[in-house]
Structure 1
Amino acid sequence: MTARSIIDHHVKQACETNRFEHKDQVLRFAVKMTAAVTIIADILNLAAHVSLNALGLLPYALLPAAIVGLVISTVVASVLTFSVIYVIGLAIHRLTISRAMFERLSRTDMLSGLLNRRAFVDEVSKAPQDASLVLFDIDRFKFINDTYGHDVGDRAICMVSRQLAATLSDKHIVARIGGEEFAALIVELTPTERLALVERCRQMIEASNVGDDVAHLRVTVSAGIAERSSHDTFQSLFLRSDRALYLAKASGRNRVIHSDQVQELMDKSGEGLYAS
């Protein structure tokens, strides 16, 4: 394997495995490759001197000629190799950072900073079965926009996003899936604990201010929750959560309804709010 093929192999490997995410990785790789190429160059240089001497074609004594040759090959190979590899590494580093940023932006809702709908569905597909899907919806959001303006509406979305992100730790998945709609997949707790955590989210949002200039405005959310283990497909799970959310909104808003409660509440109301 030639020095060129070795460099080509390692550069391709670095591109494929994101080994150049940090500049210190670039430096270490450049030093490692420089050492490898320099050693190969010195071996080839020495072999050439020995061969020429054996054929009687070397015009100088072997030892001094080999020493001079090794010094020259070491300096030239190390300087050129390090310069080329380090420049290439920095270029790959910038491409890696750009790619990571693009991927992050493509998965992030720009207003809230949460995952977007596409990223949420991707993450849910990899999450454990023992989890609860929660759909949140800001109550009377159209009234907020019409009365206070879209700027206040955006601030309400950001406030809800912050509270959901703060209350639901990193192990849970939180996303903004549409205008005033949010979704969360809560994991690693019992169903009762997950329901209590959703209720805590509702309370934290209700207790939060959108801003001093609208301190009298209290933003609330309604939520519907369903257990993932009870559904074979994400669509079925989503529809059950959405049904519970609908009933929470129709029952007066600012409340959490579990999908297991839907039929019982509908029977009590006698209104058939949502066809089963």
Structure 2
Amino acid sequence: MRGRLALWLRAQWEAGVFQTRADISMFVLNTVLVTITLATAGYLMATAILANFGLLPNPFAAALGFDTPTTVLVAASVSALIAWLLGMAVHEMALSRAELERLSRLDSLSGLLNRRAFIADMAEKKVNGFFVLFDVDRFKLVNDTHGQAVGDAVIVAVADELERVFAAPHLVGRVGGEEFAVFIENDDRGDCSLLVEEARRSVAARRVAGAKGPVTVTLSAGIADRAQGRSFEAIFEAADRALYLAKSLGRDRTIHEDEGEGLLEPSRRVAAGGRRR
């Protein structure tokens, strides 16, 4: 019986029955109605059996007239209390689970979507748009010069600006140490460029307090087209190549994937060694 009750409660929880206090009130009402029905039926059956054997302490009519409502009232009160406490406990568990699920999708420092959640949410958007990969220029130098605490403050400041510029329905996530990803839900390349440049200007204008004075950073960005049927891996690789090219050309700029290697002189292609910094 206990096992069946546990399975039933789990089914109610997963179905979202305990999401609000109104749901709990409905659960309590249903429980009380069921309890009243069972208590009434059980009492009448027991009274009839006892009366048949002459074991009732009171006349049969008195037992039906007074004891039945009393039994039903007590059973309903107890069941209502238990159902309410149980509903509140499951409700709190549901809220805690929802909060844990929400936190598991967020980057702990920036508060943006983490890489896994960003990819999942972008996959759910069945529209064309642009994927932008941002990278904080010379971020290692910030950490080495001002310390990790200031570096963390820079990450938070960049996240704030990106989240402000790329409000819903666009997506913003932190996909690496100093690397951020944005999905622009708009297939107009001109609008995309305006948003990306607004984000880069706002980040460049942001001042982060440091022990050695205000700290400013710039962003480089690589843009790739997101069209139906194109895998995330292909989009990410194209944006990453464009970002690498922006870094190689001096940082603090934006490159679209179709601008290609033609922007980079042959001698600089060889000299542009190492990964982005």
Instruction: Please name the residue that 2:275 is paired with.
Output: none
Instruction: Please name the residue that 2:216 is paired with.
Output: 218
Instruction: Please name the residue that 2:269 is paired with.
Output: 273
- The within-5 A match list for 1:216-255 is 216-229=214-227, 232-255=230-253
Instruction: Please name the residue that 2:149 is paired with.
Output: 151
What is the letter of the counterpart of residue 101 of structure 1?
E
RMSD: 2.9
What is the letter of the counterpart of residue 186 of structure 1?
I
Moved more, 230-239 or 109-118: 230-239
Question: Given the alignment of the two structures, is residue 142 of structure 1 paired with residue 140 of structure 2, yes or no?
Answer: yes
Moved more, 175-184 or 118-127: 118-127
Instruction: Tell me: CA distance 1:170–1:39, structure 2 relative to 1, closer, same or farther (3 Å).
Output: farther
Instruction: Please name the residue that 1:207 is paired with.
Output: 205
- Distance in 2 (CA, whole Å) between partners of 1:271 and 1:81 is 82
- The within-5 A match list for 1:99-138 is 99-138=97-136
Instruction: Please name the residue that 1:68 is paired with.
Output: 66
- The 3-state SS of whatever aligns with 2:206 is coil
- Distance in 2 (CA, whole Å) between partners of 1:126 and 1:256 is 27
- Distance in 2 (CA, whole Å) between partners of 1:273 and 1:152 is 33
Instruction: Please name the residue that 2:256 is paired with.
Output: 258
- The within-5 A match list for 1:178-197 is 178-197=176-195
- The 3-state SS of whatever aligns with 2:134 is strand
Q: Equivalent pairs: percent with the same residue?
A: 35
Contact 2:127 2:228 in 1 (8 A): no
- Distance in 2 (CA, whole Å) between partners of 1:124 and 1:178 is 17
Contact 1:7 1:33 in 2 (8 A): no
Instruction: Please name the residue that 1:13 is paired with.
Output: 11
Instruction: Tell me: CA distance 1:64–1:189, structure 2 relative to 1, closer, same or farther (3 Å).
Output: farther
- The 3-state SS of whatever aligns with 2:175 is strand
Instruction: Please name the residue that 1:161 is paired with.
Output: 159
- Distance in 2 (CA, whole Å) between partners of 1:260 and 1:230 is 18
Q: TM-score, normalised by structure 2?
A: 0.84
Structure 1 unaligned spans of 5+? none
Structure 2 unaligned spans of 5+? 273-277
Moved more, 121-130 or 233-242: 121-130
Instruction: Tell me: CA distance 1:107–1:193, structure 2 relative to 1, closer, same or farther (3 Å).
Output: same
Q: TM-score, normalised by structure 1?
A: 0.84
Instruction: Please name the residue that 1:89 is paired with.
Output: 87
Which of 171, 174, 177 is equivalent to 1:176?
174
Instruction: Tell me: CA distance 1:35–1:118, structure 2 relative to 1, closer, same or farther (3 Å).
Output: same
- The structural deviation recorded for 1:77 is 1.6
Instruction: Tell me: CA distance 1:68–1:201, structure 2 relative to 1, closer, same or farther (3 Å).
Output: same
